Amino acid sequence: MPKKINIKGDIVSNSDKWIYDWLEIEATSPLDVIKALNEANGQDIEVDINSGGGDIFAGSEIYTALRSYKGNVQINIVGIAASAASVIAMAGKSRITPTGLFMIHNVSSRARGDYRSMEHQAEVLKIANQSIANAYKEKTGLSDVELFKLMDKETWMSAEEAVKNKFVDEVMFDTTSQTVKGFYNSFSGIPYEAIEKIKSKIKKPDIVNNSDDSVFLMQTKLNLLKLKGEYKHD
């Protein structure tokens, strides 16, 4: 039986993962995946993806780890594969649930400074876009021009459209169709400012018995719920 590896929630850096764990928010870091691959030790694996994306460098590391794995890799998009998670989905033979979604768009970042800094950052973002387009290009056979058009307009695809455009190989449970051969990158996640505030506030995340830390934790969770639109005040 293949070993199951879950890539769920936000794609985050190894250094930020403890914050998500501490706040009890689902997330996946490169170390999570690398540890699971080491435990699999060459046996077949199935990678279940349900993620809106996240840190592009973390996504690239996970993609590379999966591509480098010696055993068979089956990618299952069980919910959504968007942004950085869509890059990870390029790492093996793939299938998507009929109710799934696939999305690609441009890399985004934060910058400050004068016009020279802004122009420099724009060039860096274009290079970053090319880096993730390379993964799409190898899988789909689409040209850079075609991919950049799709990324520029933030393209959402149903399961059937993802297969038609060759980003995914097949739709799950579809016995009538033929298998098709062939910075930050996300729309969710904990805001960067919140990550930095938590890091500066809590020095030892394994010690949360301090009353001040407990109050800060509860307030942080409440603020995140408000941010995600999950909290309603009567």
Residue positions annotated with a catalytic role: 83, 105
Render the burial of 19-29: b for 16+ CB within 10 Å, e for the rest.
Answer: bbebbebebbb
Contact 6, 28 (CB under 8 A): yes
Which residue intervals of the chain are DSSP H helices?
A: 17-22, 30-40, 56-68, 84-88, 115-140, 144-152, 159-164, 192-201, 211-227
Angle among Cα 14, 193, 17 to the nearest 5 degrees reads 15
- The CA-atom distances, in angstroms, between 154 and each of 86, 89, 104, 203, 218 are 12, 17, 6, 38, 35
